[in-house]
Amino acid sequence: MKYLSSTVAAGLGAALLAGSAGAQTPDAPPSPPDAEVASSSPRSGPLAVPYQRRYVPEANLWELGLFGGMMFPSSSHQLYDPALTSAVQQPFEPAGEIGVRFAYYPLAFLGGELEAAAMPSKAEDGSSAGLWTTRGHLIGQLPIGSITPFLLAGGGALGAGSDAMGSDVDAAFHFGAGAKAAIGEHLLVRIDLRDTMSRKVGTDTTALAHSPEILFGVAFVPSRKSPDRDGDGVLDYRDPCPDTAGAYAGCPAPDTDGDGIDDETDECVDVPGVAPSGCPDSDGDGILDRDDLCPNHAGTGPGGCPEKLCPVKDSDGDGLTDEFDRCPDEPARTLDGCPAPAEESTEEDAGDGSPAGDPESDPGWTAGEGEEAP
């Protein structure tokens, strides 16, 4: 067991040296994006981000995992019930271990974790036995990339029960080292080497029994928010435009016709045009081709044509084209192009075209009483 404890300590030192070397070695500068990525148009397939930079540890990260492995219980443990007269301390066989863990990292380099595990075993005499543990620890990790080395230390309880030795629970402390490797945005694998220390049989409380462990685990990561250089919510490793924010799979809205007006606002997405509609104005006269009767000849006349090329007519010259003029041969400044109707006479007609009661034009007029003939 001393040899195994030395192995754990050596592994811990090696992890520290490797982590320090990794922290001091600067990452290679990112490769410049190719011309296709530099444009605002999205490209198919994820950007080729190096694996080590895809899943870097970040603050406020949660992990929920399962683990299994082996514990090698110390032969000098004190996990028996001294009040049981028939109990005789004896070693446990190496115990398979299975458990669950939950971790939270408020900082990219520091977090806390809780674990619970069961370890079926046998006593030296072959009788059935089992160990269990609940514990917590602090984890310090180097957030250098998708492969992350870490150290941990903490404490909890180590318990055991057997037919030969009864049941007992002792306080336990542990430390260890390991590494995590992300195999996707939401999944990682992990290995731990640990030494669990509990009270040693037949000694005072200062002497400790050492029980090494080797653990393998997987963990689910619910959500990652980085690395995301443009902050659009699409991680760099699957963002075709990692330096330009956009709502189209991480890119700005596409511009199919390349006229600088994105397809969301472009009314003519397949033909280059002018702002704000995105539709063409071939002659540049300010009238879009779709509304211009002379799209290849700039003009200010009706329909966007020069006067001499204007295909519309205004025969009576009243400013209303023949197409809309109800009286094309009669000039009139009216809505329909026709002269206004003559006003009706308000005097009674005498029957010969002259107003009734006119002594000069009405031959049948006679003077009445008090009137003089003309």
225-236 pLDDT, tens digit each: 666 666 665 666
For residue 114, what pLDDT is reported? 98
Q: From the CB of residue 314, how many other CB atoms can be counted at a distance below 10 Å?
A: 18
pLDDT at residue 283 tops 90: no
Selection from 371, 372, 349, 344 nearest residue 362 by Cα: 349
Same domain as 295, residue 206: no
pLDDT at residue 48 tops 80: no
Q: Tell me if residue 226 falls in helix, strand or coil.
A: coil
How many domains does the chain fold into? Answer: 2
125 Cβ partners below 8 Å, 6+ apart? 90, 164
pLDDT confidence band for 358 (50 / 70 / 90)? low
Same domain as 302, residue 211: no
161 Cβ partners below 8 Å, 6+ apart? 129, 130, 167, 168
Selection from 235, 250, 246, 244 nearest residue 53 by Cα: 235
When mean pLDDT is compared across 221-230, 235-244, 269-278, 360-369, the lowest value belongs to 360-369
Same domain as 206, residue 331: no
Residue 106 maps to a domain: yes
Mean pLDDT in residue range 257-268: 77
Same domain as 196, residue 57: yes
Mean pLDDT in residue range 247-271: 73
Selection from 99, 156, 90, 102 nearest residue 129 by Cα: 90
Residue 268 maps to a domain: no
Mean pLDDT in residue range 197-216: 88
Residue 294 backbone dihedrals phi, psi, to 5 degrees: -130, 75
If one compares 233 and 292, the residue with the highest pLDDT of the two is 292
Residue 10 maps to a domain: yes
Residue 7 maps to a domain: yes
Contact between residue 158 and residue 169 where contact means Cβ atoms under 8 Å apart: yes
CATH number at residue 167: 2.40.160.20
If one compares 298 and 88, the residue with the highest pLDDT of the two is 88
Please state, rounded to an integer, the average pLDDT across all residues of the chain: 76
Same domain as 171, residue 51: yes
Could you read off the pLDDT of 108-138 as tens digits, one per residue?
Answer: 999 999 999 999 999 999 999 999 999 999 9
- Domain, as residue range, for 295: 287-339
Residue 270 maps to a domain: no
Residue 228 backbone dihedrals phi, psi, to 5 degrees: -145, 85
CA–CA dist 322, 303 (Å, integer): 13
Q: From the CB of residue 19, how many other CB atoms can be counted at a distance below 10 Å?
A: 20
If one compares 39 and 145, the residue with the highest pLDDT of the two is 145
Could you read off the pLDDT of 82-118 as tens digits, one per residue?
Answer: 888 777 889 999 999 999 999 999 999 999 999 999 9
| 202, 220, 238 - which closes a domain | 220
Same domain as 302, residue 164: no
Residue 301 maps to a domain: yes
pLDDT confidence band for 243 (50 / 70 / 90)? low
> Tokens 């109990």 correspond to what residue?
87
pLDDT at residue 40 tops 50: no
If one compares 99 and 12, the residue with the highest pLDDT of the two is 99
Selection from 194, 177, 212 nearest residue 77 by Cα: 212
Helices (H), the chain: 2-24, 35-38
Mean pLDDT in residue range 153-158: 97
CA–CA dist 334, 331 (Å, integer): 9
The token pair at 103 is 């971790």
- The one-character DSSP state at 118 is E
pLDDT at residue 317 tops 60: yes
| 203, 220, 237 - which closes a domain | 220
> Tokens 């990452």 correspond to what residue?
27
Measured over the CA atoms of residue 45, residue 49, residue 50 and residue 52, the dihedral's sign is negative
What is the dihedral angle through the alpha carbons of 266, 270, 274, 276, rounded to the nearest 10 degrees? -10
Best-predicted range by mean pLDDT among 143-147, 266-270, 296-300? 143-147
Cα dist from 214 to 79, 114, 194, 341, whole Å: 21, 17, 6, 108
**Chain centroid offset of residue 35 CA:** 24
Q: What kind and span of H or E run contains 116?
A: strand 110-122
pLDDT at residue 217 tops 80: yes
pLDDT at residue 345 tops 50: no
